[in-house]
Structure 1
């Protein structure tokens, strides 16, 4: 089995919290993408969805910097997961379309660092002066920002879900239209063939009756 691999390095730092791409995975093809972590036990979230092609499924695997497989799934249509990157270094995400002999797949893929309140720089905070208490309105603003961020993340996931659902419905409609079209052609050809067969049988009977009269 032949795999042509495309390798992309996604260097995610504190300035880049997420990276999203859409790519085409050819039949019998395999593509790998990488994310680099500098700290151990970093929370890495990833999302993928097969938008078009075949049965809307794909195989994927995740390897840690030591080459150990930490996730290995087959025939998955989509996923939205978070795992702990135990070791610092380069993590490999590979997608395989080996089960498909001719159908290409269109895949949305996103990697991001999940927020960690205990990490340095994960959340901004107001400097506190000696012998002063945090202002209530500052805490309220921080809570509001966190709530909005959570709601936006949920909205993004909902939009991704409806995008995937819409693409799959369109692919199903196109497939159904194609089947109806070819079935109609087959039905017309079958009717023409039956008419030709009936004419041939009638002509054969008339020829036989003429021979008997002679």
Structure 2
């Protein structure tokens, strides 16, 4: 019982040791046809991790071009006609990183969901006075990192299903629109054929100059 209590007592300490600064931006944006849109994130120290995720929710073929540049305008990532992407890289320079989306090759508007995350995860070492807590903190530390990994996996799965939902919904709307206009066209053709048949019959019976009432 004492061991369990001591573990709960050191849990805040472990959370403090595992605490790290995180800056995250989750946005939904509309990218018009033939438009280029850029977003920026500041990095305050070298070695920080940058996470970049995006997905095209609706519009056109669900694709977009993108580029990621460092503070010196050096190309880090690029893609053409990408539907979604999930990247993690290390920032080697301090400054402003740019994340640009391009829809210049398409005339249709695109709905984008994207996340830009900058985080630093230093593992702080325990001092000599805290050495007796190493046995407890090491176990809790590994458990915390496992939970963090599982939560990250769940978050990615949710993003995937969210994207699939939007794309399927967009496909359903597009299919409904096509069915409607196909029905209208079919009705116009049927009405036109009926009028044409009546005209042909009237012309056929009036060739001899006589008119027959049908």
The two structures share one fold, judged by TM-score above 0.5: yes
Task: Specify which of 73, 89, 95 is matched with residue 89 of structure 1.
Answer: 95
Contact 2:43–2:118 (CA under 8 A) maintained in structure 1:
no
Is 1:129 the counterpart of 2:129? The answer is yes
Q: Which residue of 1 aligns with 2:114?
A: 109
1:34 corresponds, among 30, 36, 40, to: 40
Long gaps (5+) in structure 1: 1-13, 117-121
> In the TM superposition, what is the alpha-carbon distance from 1:140 to its structure 2 partner?
1.3
* Greater Cα radius of gyration, structure 1 or 2: 2
Give the equivalent residue in structure 2 for 1:5.
none
CA-CA distance at 1:28 after TM superposition: 1.4
Mapped pair 1:49 → 2:55: yes
Range that drifts further, 82-91 or 191-200: 82-91
Give the structure-1-normalised TM-score: 0.82
What is the CA distance between 1:23 and its match in structure 2? 1.0
CA-to-aligned-CA distance 1:51-81 (integer Å, 9 cap, x gap)? 1111111111111111122222111110001
Q: Which has the higher contact order (CA 8 A, sep 6+)?
A: 2
Q: What do residues 91-134 of structure 1 show as CA deviations (whole Å, max 9, x unaligned)?
A: 11111111122x21111111113554xxxxx345654417x444
| In structure 2, C-alpha distance between the alignment counterparts of 1:167 and 1:123, rounded to whole Å | 39
Give 5+ residue unaligned stretches, structure 2: 1-19
TM-score, with length taken from structure 2:
0.82
